[in-house]
Amino acid sequence: MVTLLAGSLLGIVALVGLLGWFLWRESVVAEEERLRALAQRLGEHTEGAIIDARSFLQRLNESSAPRCQSDHLQAMQAVTFSRPWVRAVGYWQAAERLCGTGFAEGAALRPPQASRIYDNGVIAWWPSESTQVGGRPLFLMRFGNHDIAMDPQLLLNAGLLEEQRAGLWVEGLLMASTPENAELPPLSDLPPGLRVDRARGQLTARFSLGTLFPIDVVAVQPLSQFYERYLPTLIAAGLLALLLVALWVLLILHVSRRHLSLAGELRNAIDRREILVQYQPIIDLHSGNCVGAEALVRWCREDGELVSPDIFVPMAEEGGFITDLTLAVLERVLEETRELIAGQDGFSINLNLSPQDLETDRLFNALQAGLQAHHLPARAIKLELTERALLDTDITRRRLVQLRQQGHPLAIDDFGTGYSSLSYLQSFELDILKIDKAFVDTIDTPAVTSAVIEHVVDMARSLGLDMVAEGVESRQQMEWLRGRGVHFAQGFYFSKPLGIRELEDFLRHRP
């Protein structure tokens, strides 16, 4: 009996040990894949920026505008505003930089010997003291008689690189790092892939991308952070291995049943008109008046559980009934706010749309019928679309033109998160640009992305778009935005999302 118990115990220990080893190996593989995906995104983003730069320079060289005159300077300025990381554009004759736009006008950039000279005529200077403007080392690229200066730090997405050091190499030369001036091992000392260096207590990963340019991305993080991410899972999985095997099937069945149940409940809630709406006020930063509100969908289950929109909106999109949800929100908005809209001159409600809403005539017809039934003008309902919804298709363009001709102002929401370019936005007839909260949060902070919001504001101004800043939470942010010409804002600094009665009270105390 003792022998049997001992054998069983040894078998369990062996099983737990084997599972622990397997999960450790899988954790290392998962971390490598996570970093590889990050490297791929950064590499493709960097390559795209370099390709874009050469294309811009080609077009400037082919332009017939008189050099350093108004039309020529405007063309260079348009390139400067086309991407957040572009800092300056200049014109050369021989070795003399005659004029430019951006942070390095005129002859401010005169670096010495180039870092690279390519057979196709491109000349490049890697970031160094000789390419600094305003204390920022820039990557300078010249083709023909024009150059373009880019801030390589803005090519790195600091949010993706949280809690780790990282560097970006192009053709074996360091382009940028995060944090700036981070101490990184020489590229030649690092083998490809992920390496656990217990002697130095760190995890190092190098990934080389065989794209148009030889690009390497290196990430370094302390082993303690890696352990913090995976070790609790490994320990818990090892101790509960046998129990997890028995519960796994039950858990999968439970989760699947709950997901299907939630989707069914959501459909029923839409059919029974139980979808709720809260309204976040939009404030005119100059007058202080409330000029409108964004309609935010809410769903409370019968048991009182409030389900997050981050859960049920994707569920509706996956289930193919997101337009039913949008129309339910529209119906409630028109019923609840018709008197507000009629009694407040210029007051409007912003309605969020999904890409699927533009695939049929249902939204257009519902808007037309609802506004007519409630005797409201089309301008009272502004339509918000994310960059994801602005797919360059004939159907999308036709729907947007149709909605705009009907009189609905169109806004692009969460702008800046999808790398939309100036030329791409110009191809759509839009009225409003909403600045994403992620960029508002960087105002007056040392974050790498803090300069992006200024480019977003400049881009919106160049397109003639009204601007609404989202997620304003402090007076400092509000004053900064107002000083940069941003006219409207919303966020908890002004008000949390409100029910319709709360919104009416809000308007009575703050017109």
Amino acid at 345: D
- On whether residue 2 sits in a domain, the answer given is no
Tell me what percent of the residues of the chain surpass a pLDDT of 90: 36
Segment 216-237 shows an average pLDDT of 73
Does residue 392 or residue 153 have the better pLDDT?
A: 153
- On whether residue 510 sits in a domain, the answer given is no
Predicted local distance difference test score (pLDDT) of residue 5: 39
pLDDT-derived band at 477, boundaries 50, 70, 90: very high
Of the spans 86-95, 203-212, 385-394, which averages the highest pLDDT?
A: 86-95
Residues 260 and 334 occupy one common structural domain: yes
d(CA 150, CA 83): 9
Domain assignment of residue 230, given as a range: 15-239
Phi, psi at residue 247, to the nearest 5°? Answer: -90, -10
Number of domains present in the structure of the chain: 2
- On whether residue 108 sits in a domain, the answer given is yes
Q: Is the pLDDT of residue 275 over 70?
A: yes
Q: What is the mean pLDDT of the chain?
A: 82
Does residue 455 or residue 221 have the better pLDDT?
A: 455
d(CA 328, CA 338): 15
| Contact by Cβ (8 Å): 177, 187 | no
Predicted local distance difference test score (pLDDT) of residue 469: 95
Measured in whole angstroms, the distance separating CA 192 from the mean position of its chain's CA atoms is 29
Residues 227 and 263 occupy one common structural domain: no
Q: Is the pLDDT of residue 326 over 70?
A: yes
Q: Is the pLDDT of residue 254 over 60?
A: no
Segment 349-359 shows an average pLDDT of 93
d(CA 424, CA 435): 17
107-113 CB contacts, 8 Å cutoff, 24+ apart: 108/133, 109/133, 109/138, 109/140, 109/147, 109/149, 111/140
pLDDT-derived band at 472, boundaries 50, 70, 90: very high
Reported as type and span, the H/E element at residue 422 is: helix 422-426
Phi, psi at residue 316, to the nearest 5°? Answer: -70, -35
**Cis bond before residue 446 (omega within 30° of 0):** no
Residues 170 and 306 occupy one common structural domain: no
Q: Which of 78-92, 97-111, 247-261, 424-438 has the lowest mean pLDDT?
A: 247-261
CA distances for 338 relative to 36, 203, 403, 507, 510, angstroms:
52, 59, 20, 14, 19
Phi-psi region at 436: left, alpha or beta (left = phi > 0; alpha = psi -120 to 50): beta
- Residue where one domain finishes, among candidates 239, 261, 281: 239
SS3 content of the chain, % helix, strand, coil (to 5): 50, 25, 30
Closest CA to 347 of 293, 291, 410, 294: 291
- Residue where one domain finishes, among candidates 239, 262, 277: 239
Residues 265 and 177 occupy one common structural domain: no
| Contact by Cβ (8 Å): 305, 364 | no
pLDDT-derived band at 16, boundaries 50, 70, 90: low
Find where tokens 């919804």 sit: 389
Segment 321-332 shows an average pLDDT of 96
- Residue where one domain finishes, among candidates 239, 274, 308: 239
Token readout for 338 is 């018709």
Does residue 397 or residue 199 have the better pLDDT?
A: 397
- On whether residue 508 sits in a domain, the answer given is no
